[in-house]
Chains A and B, each alone.
Chain A
Amino acid sequence: MINKILVANRGEIAVRILRACKELGIQTVAVYSDADKNAQHVQYAEEAVHIGAASARESYLNAEVLIQAALDSKADAIHPGYGFLSESASFAGMVESAGLIFIGPSAESIHLMGDKAESKIRMKKAGVPTVPGVEEIESLGDFERAAEKIGYPVLVKASAGGGGKGMRIVWEVNDLSEEIQAAKREALHAFGDDRLLIEKYVANAHHIEFQIFGDRHGNLVHLFERECSVQRRHQKIIEETPSLQLTPGLREEMGKAAVAAAKAVNYYNAGTIEFIVDPDTHNFYFLEMNTRLQVEHPVTELVTGLDLVHWQIWIANGEQFPFDQAHFTQRGHAIECRIYAEDPANGFLPSTGRLLQYVEPRGPGIRVDSGFVAGDNVTHFYDPLLAKMIVHAEDRPSAIQRMQAALKDFIVHGVVTNIDFLQTVLSHPDFQNGKVTTRWVEQNMETLMESANSLVETQKQSIGLHIIAAALADVAIPNPQSKIENEPDPYSPWKAANGFRMGGTHG
C-alpha cells in the first residue's frame, strides 16, 4: 500500500507528481541538490532530503543516495519522473530490491526497451515495422559498410540513448568518423554506455507517438497519438493531439502496433511508442519506446480526461486498469508548447540567469506545468525547460488561437526564452496546415529568424512602445539601483515602487 512517495526528480515534473500525490492524500518527499535548495519542488513537498552537489551525476543520478533517502524517510515508493534515472533498469531493480515500489514498468521491460538495438530486434520479431538499419556493430569499418548499404543520410545513435542525446545525422562518409566519436562521447556522458547503432535517416518524416497504458494483470490499451514533429536539435518544442496526419484507419493500425510492441515486453504502467511516419507513403516505423511518463503527457490527459500520474500510482499499487480500448475517445484538440530558457538567435543555446519577472497566463482551457517562480535562478546544471503550456479547445484552429493569445500573456524576464520563436512557428502556414516534419525548423531556420526580425523592424510602432515603456520606467521609479538586503531581486528597480502611484513628483 502506497502511503508515501519520494519523487526522484526536480523542476516542473517533480511539482506535477507531488501535486498528484497531494490530491490522492499521499505523503510526499522531495530531493534536492546544492543548486535546488529553494526550488519550487522542494517547497511543494512535505519533506525534502538533500542528496548532493549541483552536478546531476552527484545528486539526481545517484541511485544509492536516492534509495537511502527513500528508506530514511520511510517512503513506500519512488516516482522517477522523466529523464535522470527514469529509464534505468538497474535503478528500477535496486528500488525493488530495497523493498520499495518503483512507479513505472518492470526493470525487465525497461531493460528490453532501453537498449535501442535490442528493442529493434525484438520489435522486428513481434511484427512491428522498424527503420532499416544495423545494430550491434563496433568498428569504423563496419559502420562505413553499413552506411554504404543503407545509403546516406544515416543516423548514428546511442544504443542506450533517448531524448536526442548521443544522436548524430551523417550526410557523407567523410563526416562519419568524427560524428561517431562525438556521439560516443555524448552517449558515454549521458548514459555511461557508448555503444551506437546506425539506421536510415528518414529526412522528412513526422514524429508521431502513441501513449500506452497497462496494469500488472494484462490489461493494456493505447491512448491515441501525439504529433511531435516540431523539433530543434532532435528535441520536441510543440506537441499536439490529434495529429492531422492520421486517418481513422491509420490511427487504428498504429494503435494496434503500439499495443503489440508494448505486449512484446510484458509492459505495464505508462509508456510511449514512438513512430516515424513518411508523409508521402503513410508508412510508419517503430523508432523507440520510452518506458516512462513523457514530458508531453498533458496533451493526452486533456483529450482523454485521464490523469496519467494518478493511474501510474494506482497501477504501481497493484490495482486493475478498469477501461478497455472502446472506452476511450479523443475529445477536442490539445497543444503543448515547451517554454525553454534558450536563445533561438544563438543556436537555441540555453540562457541562464535570475528570473526578474515570471508571469504565467491564465484563462479557460489553459494549463501551465512549471517549476519556477520569479526570483528563481536558471542554472546551467539542468535542462533549461522553464514550463509547459498546454491548451485545450474544441478543434485545432481554436486551440492554435488559444495558444497564441496565451503566449502573449507569458512574461519571462532575466533569461532569453523561445516564446517569440514559438509564436513564429504557430503562425506559419506550414504549421497551420500540418506540413511540419522533424527537420522543418532546421531547414527553415533562416526564414523563421528573418520573419521574427523583420517583424521588429517593420513594426516601428511596436518597438517605439517598448522604448517609451523603458524610458518611463527609468525616470518614474525613484532610485532604480537601490540595493536592499534580503531583496529577492537586488537589481529590481521596483522595490521602492510597490503600490506606488505615480504623480508629478519626479525631477
Chain B
Amino acid sequence: MKLNFDHQGQSISVDLTPSGKSFRLDVDGETVEAQILQAKDGKLDLLIDGKRVTAYVSSDHTRRWVTVNGRTLLFNKSSGGRRSSSGHQHAAGELTAPMPGQIRAVNVSEGDTVSKGQTLLLLEAMKMEIRVQAPRDGVVKKLFVQQGQTVEREQLLVEIEEL
C-alpha cells in the first residue's frame, strides 16, 4: 500500500506492507520494521526497528499533525503523483488574508496604480492591525473585499496586475 505525504512542498512517499503482527515500511528507499504496541486517543506506542517510539497523530481532513520527540510537524496527505495544492501557492499578484479577521480599511480602488510596499488594506484581528501591502509596482486589477467585511484565513483580498 502506497501513501503520500507533503511536508513544506516536499512530497514523501511511504510503501507499507503488513507482515504478521508488524509492518514493513519503505520511506524514500529506506526500509524499517514497525509494530503498533498500542493506539489510544491519538497516541501511538510504536516499536520501530526494535526501539520504542511514542507518537501523537491527529487527523483533520487531509492534514496530519504528528508529534515525535517533542517536535510537531504538519503533513498533507495526497493521493500521490500530483503536487499538493495546499499552502500559499496563489497566482502571482493575488494577495490573501494571512489570518482570519475584519477588514478595517480599504485604501485603494480597482484601476489604481500602486507602488511596492504601499498599504492596500488594513486587517484587524485579535486587536492587532495588519497591513496588506503591494508586493510590487502594479495596478489594482480586482478588489474582492470591502470595509467591515469578515474574512477567513487564505481568503482572496485583492489582485495586483503588473504594469
User: In chain B, what residue has the closest Cβ to A493?
Assistant: B59
Within the complex, the shortest CB–CB distance from A491 to chain B, in Å, comes to: 5
CA distance A497 to B58 in the complex (A): 13
B residues near A411, Cβ cutoff 8 Å: 56, 67, 72
**B32 close to A480 (CB less than 8 A):** no
Pick the residue among B3, B59, B73, B130 that contacts A349 (CB under 8 A). B130
Q: Would A497 and B40 be within 8 Å (CB), given that A414-B58, A462-B69, A468-B34 are in contact?
A: yes
Instruction: Choose one: A190, A471, A473; the contact of B25 (CB below 8 Å).
Output: A471
Contact of A136 with B by CB under 8 A: no
B114 to chain A, nearest CB (A): 15
Q: Quick one: which of B25-84 are within 8 Å of A by CB? A: 25, 27-28, 30, 32, 34, 36-42, 44, 46, 48, 53, 55-61, 64-75, 77
**A-chain residues with CB within 8 Å of residue B66 when the two chains form the complex:** 466-467, 469-470
In the bound complex, do residue A189 and residue B3 qualify as a contact, i.e. CB atoms below 8 Å apart? Answer: no
A473 touching B39, Cβ below 8 Å: yes
B156 at the interface (CB under 8 A from A): no
> Which residue in B38, B41, B71, B125 is a CB contact (below 8 Å) of A502?
B38
> In the complex, what residue of chain B is closest to A497 when comparing beta carbons?
B39
Q: Which residues of A contact B61 (CB under 8 A)?
A: 491
| C-alpha spacing A409/B69, complex, angstroms | 8
Contacts of A493 in B (CB 8 A): 59
CB distance from A354 to the nearest CB of B (A): 8
The segment from A23-31, A119-127, A415-423 that touches chain B is A415-423
Q: Are B98 and A470 in contact (CB under 8 A)?
A: no
B106 within 8 A of A: no
Instruction: Report if A477 contacts B (CB, 8 A).
Output: yes
Would you call B153 an interface residue if the criterion is a C-beta within 8 Å of the partner chain's C-beta atoms? yes
Q: Are A465 and B125 in contact (CB under 8 A)?
A: no
Say yes or no: is A137 at the interface (Cβ < 8 Å to chain B).
no
B74 pairs with A463, CB closer than 8 A: no
Please encode chain A, from 350 to 373, with 1 for each CB lying within 8 Å of some chain B CB and 0 for all others: 111110110100000000000000
Q: Does A384 contact B (CB under 8 A)?
A: yes
Are A350 and B72 within 8 A (Cβ)? Answer: no
Do A469 and B53 contact each other (CB < 8 Å), given the known contacts A499-B40, A502-B38? yes
Q: Which residues of A contact B48 (CB under 8 A)?
A: 465, 468
CB pair A466–B36 under 8 Å, yes or no, is: no
Instruction: Given A182-B129, A408-B70, decide whether A467 and B40 contact each other with a Cβ distance below 8 A.
Output: no
State how many residues of chain A have any CB contact under 8 Å with chain B. Answer: 70
Q: A190-B127, A413-B65, A492-B58 are in contact. Are A463 and B98 (CB under 8 A)?
A: no
CB distance from B108 to the nearest CB of A (A): 15
Q: For B1, what are the chain A residues with a Cβ–Cβ distance below 8 Å?
A: 475
A356 and B71 in contact (CB under 8 A), knowing A469-B53, A504-B18? no
A468 to chain B, nearest CB (A): 6
Within B111-152, which residues are at the interface with A (CB < 8 Å)?
119, 122, 124-131
Query: Of A165, A353, A469, A501, which is within 8 A of B57 by CB?
Result: A469
| B93 within 8 A of partner (CB) | no
List B contacts of A384 (CB < 8 A).
126
B75 in contact with A185 (CB, 8 Å): no
Chain A residues within an 8 Å CB radius of B60: 353-354, 356, 413-414, 491
CB-CB under 8 A for A380 and B100, given A349-B130, A472-B44: yes
The verdict on A419 contacting B75 (CB below 8 Å), with A380-B100, A502-B39 known, is no
Closest partner residue, chain B, to A412 (CB atom): B72
Q: Is the CB of B70 within 8 A of A463?
A: no
Contact with B along A187-201 (1 / 0, CB 8 A): 001100000000000
Bound-state CA distance A107–B1 (Å) is: 68
Partner of A501, one of B3, B38, B59, B104: B38
- Any B CB within 8 A of the CB of A97: no
Q: Do A383 and B126 touch across chains, with their CB atoms under 8 A apart?
A: yes
Q: At the interface, yes or no: A346 with Cβ under 8 Å from chain B?
A: yes
A24 CB → nearest B CB, Å: 32
Task: Tell me whether A465 and B42 are in contact in the complex, defined as CB-CB below 8 angstroms, given that A185-B129, A346-B98, A380-B101 are known contacts.
Answer: no
Expressed in whole angstroms, the minimum distance between the Cβ of A371 and any Cβ of chain B is 15
Residue A476 interfacial (CB < 8 Å): yes
Contacts of A354 in B (CB 8 A): 60
Q: Binary interface profile of A, 450-473, with partner B (CB < 8 Å = 1, else 0)?
A: 000001100000111111111111
A178: chain B residues within 8 A (beta carbon): 119
Q: Does any Cβ of B come within 8 Å of A171's Cβ?
A: no
Check if A470 sits within 8 Å of B57, measured CB to CB.
yes
Chain A, range 384-420, C-beta contacts under 8 Å to B: 384, 407-414, 416-417, 419-420
Query: A323 interface residue, CB < 8 Å from B?
Result: no
Residue of A382, A470, A500 touching B5 (CB-CB under 8 A): A470
Output the nearest chain A residue to B130 by Cβ-Cβ distance: A349
Asked if B46 and A469 make an inter-chain contact with CB atoms under 8 angstroms apart, the answer reads yes
- Complex Cα spacing A412 to B71, Å: 10
B157: A residues at CB distance < 8 A: none
Provide the A103-115 mask, 1 if CB < 8 A to any CB of B, else 0: 0000000000000
Picked from A182, A383, A410, A492, the residue with its CB within 8 Å of the CB of B59 is: A492
Q: Which chain B residue lies CB-closest to A474? A: B3
- Give the CA-CA distance A493 to B58 in the complex, in Å: 8
Besides A467-B66, A468-B27, 16 more A-B contacts (Cβ < 8 Å) are A56-B127, A165-B127, A182-B129, A346-B99, A347-B98, A423-B70, A456-B71, A464-B30, A465-B48, A467-B12, A469-B46, A469-B57, A473-B39, A473-B44, A474-B3, A498-B41
A–B pairs, 18, beta carbons within 8 Å: A186-B127, A350-B125, A409-B70, A462-B71, A464-B30, A465-B48, A465-B69, A466-B71, A469-B46, A469-B53, A470-B77, A471-B14, A472-B44, A473-B44, A476-B39, A491-B59, A498-B40, A501-B38
Q: Which 9 A-B pairs have the closest CB atoms?
A: A408-B70, A469-B55, A413-B65, A356-B58, A413-B58, A473-B57, A502-B36, A471-B14, A466-B66
